[in-house]
């Protein structure tokens, strides 16, 4: 099958347990919780998205004809050397497109594969690092993995229920409101959550502060 990728680039992972790690980001086009069009945001299940995942026109984006072509492009962004190759499949919702062929092709190219998913679809079992960011109002199918990253505050979220899921790491990430005052309020609420629930840790979006993508 072919794959619609909005953009692909080499950067540092900015958030979560792997923050600071060199990574090729593969941003798949499309999401099942929002169309990506502003006129649909108010009625979407997920309304706080800060990512453009529509189409294939971003830098490094394309419709790749097959898994080998996508993996070859990712390897090209990584550059010389196969050691420690690391890619992050994100979106949009990557599990709308990730399949056996792509996981095999990326592994064959030497990549450790991480995914950032909303969890509404079961994650491919070949993925090496599973990060799920649940969205209030959605039905989460993938309730196990390496890290659960909760954007906070998020009204309608049952934090007790999330704690019963099977994740090695529980992370609270302040909601990016787009304003200095709003972000300060989000940070205060995320800090309060972690202070009240010691299993959780705070994660910040370092790539934004560093001017990285």
> Do the beta carbons of residue 176 and residue 183 sit within 8 Å?
yes
What x-and-dash track marks residues 152-191 binding ligand SF4 by CB under 6 A? ----------------------------------------
Query: Nearest CA to 113 among 23, 5, 53?
Result: 23
Residue among 64, 135, 152, 190 that touches ligand SF4 (CB under 6 A): 135
Residues 93-132 that bind ligand SF4 (CB under 6 A): 93, 118
Token readout for 169 is 């790491």
Q: For the CB of residue 72, give the shortest distance to ligand SF4 in the complex, in Å.
A: 25
Judged by CB, which is closer to ligand SF4: 18, or 117?
117
State the nearest-atom distance from the C-beta of 139 to ligand SF4, in Å: 13
CA distance 46 to 156: 12
What 3-state DSSP class applies to 161? helix
Q: How far apart are CA 27 and CA 60, in angstroms?
A: 10
Catalytically active residues, by annotation:
25, 31, 46, 49-51, 116, 207
SS3 state at 147:
strand
The first and second tokens of residue 120, run together, are: 């509404």
Of the candidates 67, 170, 171, 148, the residue with the CA atom closest to the CA atom of residue 111: 67
Region 18-47 residues binding ligand SF4, contact defined as CB under 6 A = 31, 33-34, 46
Instruction: Please report whether residue 91 would count as binding ligand SF4 according to CB under 6 A.
Output: yes
Q: Which residues bind ligand SF4 (CB under 6 A)?
A: 31, 33-34, 46, 49, 51, 53, 91-93, 118, 135
């Amino acid at each position: 099958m072919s794959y619609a990728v909005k953009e692909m680039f080499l950067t540092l992972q900015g958030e979560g347990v792997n923050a600071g790690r060199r990574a090729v980001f593969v941003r798949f086009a499309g999401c099942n919780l929002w169309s990506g069009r502003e006129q649909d945001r108010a009625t979407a299940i997920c309304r706080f998205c800060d990512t453009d995942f529509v189409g294939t026109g971003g830098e490094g984006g394309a419709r790749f004809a097959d898994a080998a072509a996508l993996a070859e492009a990712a390897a090209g962004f990584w550059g010389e050397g196969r050691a420690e190759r690391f890619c992050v499949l994100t979106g949009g919702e990557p599990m709308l497109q990730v399949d056996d062929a792509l996981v095999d092709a990326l592994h064959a190219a030497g990549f450790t594969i991480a995914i950032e998913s909303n969890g509404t679809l079961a994650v491919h079992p070949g993925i090496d690092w599973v990060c799920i960011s649940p969205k209030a109002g959605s039905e989460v199918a993938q309730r196990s993995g390496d890290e659960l990253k909760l954007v906070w505050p998020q009204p309608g979220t049952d934090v007790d229920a999330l704690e019963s899921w099977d994740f090695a790491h529980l992370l609270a990430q302040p909601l990016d409101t787009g304003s200095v005052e709003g972000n300060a309020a989000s940070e205060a609420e995320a800090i309060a959550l972690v202070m009240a629930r010691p299993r959780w840790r705070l994660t910040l979006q370092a790539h934004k502060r560093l001017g990285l993508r």
